[in-house]
Copies of this chain bind each other. A is one copy, B any other.
Amino acid sequence: MNSLEQRILKDGIVLDSDILKVDSFLNHQVDVKLLKAMGSEFLELFSDKKDEINKILTIEASGIAIAAFVAEAFNVPMVFAKKGEHKNVGNDVYTADVYSFTKGRTYEIAVSKKYINKGDKILVIDDFLANGQAVLGLKSLIEQGGAEMVGAGIAIEKAFQPGRQKLKEAGIDLRALAVIESMSPETGVKFGTN
């Protein structure tokens, strides 16, 4: 069992069969020692591709801290796509629309054309996978730049949601540190494998 799975069992709060709160260590208060361990564990998870990956891409805001430590482990730069307003990125951007099931609306993500280049081999990192919309949006940004998406490294995958299937259909190599098969407040979290 890796660091994240252990921590989910210890401090994750299962609100219902769909919602896991990890805001005490992952996406509001952040345990940077855990994130550093996760960086190493992502490096191990993608060890067969580690020599080709030259950039980490994530999306603001809760992916940033995780992606930063993954980038440190891979010894490559990290880029984070901006959500919604992004005047300060400039006009020379790739954009994609992402539908959020949580918020019930579509938002735009953008990344400066300067930071996705032909020949880049990019690993996408995000905190949660549920419906896969954010990852598909990031894949679109990568392809607009003529770069290659090497895979998607997800901290917590809700395997009972359609995300994995959608990413598979898009040809994405998806690997998660914690694959949640099912959960409930009574029985807790049941992990599966990639």
Contact = CB atoms under 8 A, between A and B. Distances in A.
Contacts of A36: 72
A113 B23 CA distance: 12
A68 B80 CA distance: 15
A71 to B, nearest CB: 5
A28 B77 contact: no
A129 interface: no
A183 interface: no
Contact of A23 (B23, B68, B112): B112
Interface SS of chain A: mixed
A28 B79 contact: yes
Given A35-B68, A36-B72, A78-B30, A88 B102 contact: yes
A32 B78 contact: yes
Contacts of A9: none
Given A23-B89, A88-B102, A102-B88, A28 B112 contact: yes
A62 B32 CA distance: 17
Contacts of A33: 72, 75
A64 interface: yes
A160 interface: no
A66 to B, nearest CB: 9
A23 B93 CA distance: 13
A30 to B, nearest CB: 5
Interface string A78-97: 11101101011100000000
Interface of A: 23-24, 28-33, 35-36, 60-61, 64-65, 68-69, 71-72, 75, 77-80, 82-83, 85, 87-89, 102-103, 111-112, 114-115
Given A28-B112, A68-B69, 6 more contacts: A28-B115, A29-B115, A32-B69, A61-B64, A61-B82, A64-B68
